[in-house]
Amino acid sequence: MSELSAQQRQQFKQRLEERFRQLREEIGQELLNSEDPYYQQLAGTVHDTEEESVADLLLDLNLADIDRHVQEIRQVEVALNRIESGSYGVCTDCGVPIDSKRLEASPAAPRCIECQTLYEQRYTQPGHPSL
């Protein structure tokens, strides 16, 4: 295992930014589809938001459909921040470089496979929604 090259980092950054825009579109669309005028208004805010955290904005909504996307967009945001700060590609739990094949498959992955498995065992239990 080795650290990512600047070129790889740049590629992951582009993919993450792309995914971010996609998710933002989907979330905006789901908000628009809801009956609630407040959500429809939020859809406009989400669409116009560049700097602020989209995930933070949506955190309190607690809509099942959107929730999944909000969780993913939050992960993408964290990954993009980590690219900026230079800590991208390193497992948040054990500090070991994450295998680049794993990052290819899921660029927003915050953990190495071992730590992710442990994490899921700990937090994904029946009747206990994962975070």
Return residues touching Zn ion (CB under 5 A): 91, 93-94, 112, 115
Whole-number minimum distance, CB 2 to Zn ion, in Å?
A: 16
Q: Which residues pair with 128 in a beta bridge?
A: 125
- Name the CA radius of gyration of the chain, rounded: 16
Using N-to-C axis directions, what is the helix angle for 64-85 and 6-33, rounded to 10°? 160
Whole-number minimum distance, CB 45 to Zn ion, in Å?
A: 36
Between 36 and 114, CB nearer to Zn ion: 114
Whole-number minimum distance, CB 8 to Zn ion, in Å?
A: 19
Whole-number minimum distance, CB 72 to Zn ion, in Å?
A: 20
**Tokens 């794993």, residue?**
102
Between 28 and 110, CB nearer to Zn ion: 110
Between 52 and 120, CB nearer to Zn ion: 120
Coil/strand/helix, residue 96 = coil
Between 83 and 91, CB nearer to Zn ion: 91
∠ CA(54), CA(59), CA(62), 5° rounding? Answer: 130
